[in-house]
Amino acid sequence: MASSPFADPAFYADRYPTYASLRAASPVLQVSLDGATTATVVTGYDEARQAFTAPLSKDTGAYFADRPSGRSLHPAVARTMLATDPPEHTRLRRLVTKAFTPSRVDDLRPYIRSLAEQLVGMWEPGTEVDLIEDLAGPLPVTVICQLLGVPPVDRSSIRSWSTDLFATGDHERIDAASHALAGYMAELIATKRSSPDRSLLSDLIAVRDSDAGRLSEHELLSLSVLLLVAGHETTTAGIGNAVLALLQHPTELEHLRTSPHCIPSAVDELLRYDSPVSIATWRWAPDEVDLSGATVPAGSPVFVCPGAANRDPARFPDPDRLDLGRANAASHLAFGHGIHRCLGAPLAHAEIEIVLGVLLEHFPGMQLAASADQLVWRHSRLVRGLVSLPVRL
Ligand code: HEM
């Protein structure tokens, strides 16, 4: 059995050679996580698509009920919609789908664009900026906080708590951040309950208070925490990875500058090429499952890896090449697949498109201000994203 690929710090700097060797061993492979737990890692494209719709459970509560983890994660973070199965999942998702449809997102485009313009408006040509700190970080958190109705003064705390939540391995930091974030959201819910506004959070409180059968108090809290966290960490990584890939491919960058109408389809190839959610969230097999002829034993955690599936040569020829004209790029699995497919995909796509458009318009000559080996990647199994991205304007 293969040993855990996630234990080696080098994995976080460049995952793709590891993904390729795991896939070569088997696209559905058993690995030993920590000596005690055996997990199934899915790295093939067809296999990942199948795994996303297989009878695997997302119910972490049921998994850990028999296997005490010794953790003290706040329940509103531990048990979100992303950790439920139908029928709960169906009921919860239905409450929030309307807020994230492509037409709702189109209404938000002018706001997102003005935010991006405002952030880059402070930059001087010829200087150096940190694209993560100065743009890719603040933009998505501001957008999702605006939607949910989180006051501007609290947005930097939200950002730092959610960054901590993705710090794989640092349990103390993750658990502390989960309590801080859930405590903050519980207070905000209380405030909005007494003075409702036009935010999504006030809408959810109204659902809860008018019909407790549709949304419990725990679900109200966990759903708002999920939207807040899922809505920006991933997009920050998506913007950073897309800009980095373009700076490393000047011909493609120049092509987009002269043909900005190609930006929307380019975003799909950029999401395929360096997927921000590299390893999807926790799933497990309540019963033995067959995945493309490989057996997933009952009780096995299953790590489906969009980052690996999107580099599967059987689906994407010459997968390590960034090809903005790739015909099937939009079939990437960067947003997952099946019933848990990313709720915020249209919003995330729009944010990346708008940021690229604004950057290319204002700073067409921008360049990477660090070599590839100086770049520091986040130590997160789930999110593949940069800690910082120095760019000369
Ligand atoms: C580039 C940015 C983003 C990427 C790559 C991304 C990726 C993903 C992926 C892969 C999943 C499925 C996880 C799984 O099945 O294990 C997911 C789920 C989810 N995403 Fe995103 N996401 C992004 C941005 C957003 C945004 C902006 C929101 C806005 C609220 C959002 C909200 C959610 C929610 C609520 C779920 C859970 C859906 C469910 O359980 O039914 N995401 N995302």
Confidence of residue 32 (pLDDT cuts 50, 70, 90): confident
Distance 282 CA to ligand 1 centre (A): 13
Atom in ligand 1 nearest the alpha carbon of residue 280: 16
Q: What atom in ligand 1 is closest to the CA of residue 304?
A: 16
Nearest CA to ligand 1 atom 6: 335
Query: What is the spatial distance between Cα 355 and Cα 350, in angstroms, rounded to a whole number?
Result: 9
pLDDT digits (tens, 9 = 90+) for 68-121: 666 788 888 888 999 999 999 999 999 898 888 898 899 999 999 999 999 999
The token duo for 24 is: 């070569």
Pairing label, strands 301-304, 38-42: parallel
Per-residue model confidence (pLDDT) at position 268: 98
Other CB atoms within 10 A of residue 94 CB:
10
Residue 190: the pLDDT is 95
Cα distance between residue 266 and residue 325, in whole Å: 8
Task: Centre a 10 Å sphere on the Cβ of residue 210 and count the other Cβ atoms it contains.
Answer: 9
CA proximity to 52, closest of 384, 347, 333, 345? 333
pTM, to two decimals: 0.95
User: Percent of the chain having pLDDT more than 90?
Assistant: 76
pLDDT at 212: 73
What confidence category does residue 9 fall into, taking pLDDT thresholds of 50, 70 and 90?
confident
pLDDT band at 167; cut points 50, 70, 90: confident
Q: Report DSSP state, residue 217.
A: H
Banded model confidence at residue 170, pLDDT cuts 50, 70, 90 = confident
Q: Ligand 1 centre and the CA of 8: distance in Å?
A: 26
Q: What's the pLDDT at 209?
A: 85
Report pLDDT digits (tens) over 211-258. 777 889 999 999 999 999 988 889 999 999 999 999 999 999 999 999
CA of 178 from ligand 1 middle (Å) equals: 18
Extents of the domains making up the chain: 2-392
Fold of 2-392: Cytochrome p450 (1.10.630)
